[in-house]
Copies of this chain bind each other. A is one copy, B any other.
């Protein structure tokens, strides 16, 4: 279950380091990859040859400088195949088709009835969304190298099992088998917090820092955490349940059954509860669903609504306090926010959170303290799941280990690769 690091994993991670460098830099020569990764020239040459053989990389351009050998500039071969990343929530399935360089090719969304918890119903919805996204991308089904699917709740990726999905009352559903039967494609399942963390590690602030927390704000709230380049999974892949740490002992009822959890204040239902406390008759409370509510809040804030301004102030107070806990416990001063509440409300929430956060943080963790909206574009859950599926494809080729980590650099190597 738990990713264990061995000398073998470290070798495998060197391969990922070469891929990551190409994701970050775009087309690069072997010399540039050597400089950027801090690996030896011989290691880079060997890995590049392996990737070229498997057509994961291709030669983009050849430069001749007059004398000596020409310089080949390498790039990820987007035509090598397609990867599908899928974000399954209680109310929708969002499927996105990517090329191997994780550029978006097509997208489809299917609505789910949140009161329907039958396995066949959910599987059928996922199969339909994947099919529609593949059709939208124009890709042939035979070009799909793998599908990564995020499921809500407790997911055990090594066993391909949805251990527990509270909203659906699922227990130990062998979901990977069901989906592979339905799709006829290799499937990898995981939990959305792990997906947003991997997306941030590959495409967000993880490109410049090794330790970070990505805080997801939506119906539920949670954190994807990476420490020293390693995604933190916990004993049973449940790490990151920051939404179920305390804000207020014996406070509001949380849907997990406990009282006073962060999610009861910062999940969308928590925002609704706060607004009902501040302004019981507010029209935003009469919207049909959570997305409409958040949309109405954003529109009201734009119009200068006073009760909603008070809601943002109160919510920023809760958020700054709860982020302070993450920083104090793990001493990770780089935080990003993601999720649809973030996308709708960040321009109001972030300035207030930034102003308040330092007073919740111990002095030693304040230097470099920064909280920002995640720079990852598109749906980070789908993107992270596509990245996991790409890792799985490379593992099947014998080109990688399942570490989901960035290689560790020595301080000297960081300096050398920092340009």
Contact status A318-B249, CB under 8 Å: yes
Q: Is A79 an interface residue (CB 8 A)?
A: no
Chain A contact patch, size range: 35 or more
Q: Is A207 an interface residue (CB 8 A)?
A: no
Interface string of A318-342 (1 = CB under 8 A from B): 1001101110111111000000000
B234 and A365 form a contact (CB under 8 A): yes
The distance from the CB of A306 to the nearest CB of chain B, in whole angstroms, is: 22
Q: Using known A-B contacts A233-B331, A234-B332, A258-B324, determine if residue A408 contacts B239 with beta carbons closer than 8 Å.
A: no
- In the docked arrangement, what's the CA distance between A365 and B332, Å? 23
A1-35 vs B, CB cutoff 8 Å, 1 = contact: the mask equals 01111110010000000000000000000000000
CB <8 Å contact, B234 and A331 = yes
Task: Tell me the bound Cα distance from A272 to B74 in angstroms.
Answer: 66
A237 within 8 A of B: yes
Give which listed residue, B163, B232, B247, contacts A364 with CB less than 8 A.
B163
- Whether the Cβ atoms of B364 and A236 lie closer than 8 Å is yes
- How many protomers of this protein does the assembly include? 2
A210 to B235, CA, bound (A): 10
Choose among A237, A238, A248, A251 the residue with the greatest number of B CB atoms under 10 Å from its CB.
Answer: A238
Q: Is A378 an interface residue (CB 8 A)?
A: no
**Per-position binary interface string of chain A over residues 72-107, scored 1 when its CB falls under 8 Å from any chain B CB and 0 otherwise:** 000000000000000000000000000000000000
Chain A residues proximal to chain B, CB less than 8 Å = 2-7, 10, 154, 163-164, 210-211, 223, 227-228, 230, 232-242, 244-249, 251, 256-258, 260, 317-318, 321-322, 324-326, 328-333, 359-360, 362-365, 367-368, 408-411
19 pairs across A/B with beta carbons < 8 Å?
Answer: A2-B210, A4-B410, A5-B228, A154-B362, A211-B234, A223-B329, A227-B227, A233-B331, A235-B331, A236-B331, A238-B328, A238-B365, A239-B330, A245-B245, A245-B325, A246-B322, A247-B249, A249-B317, A326-B329
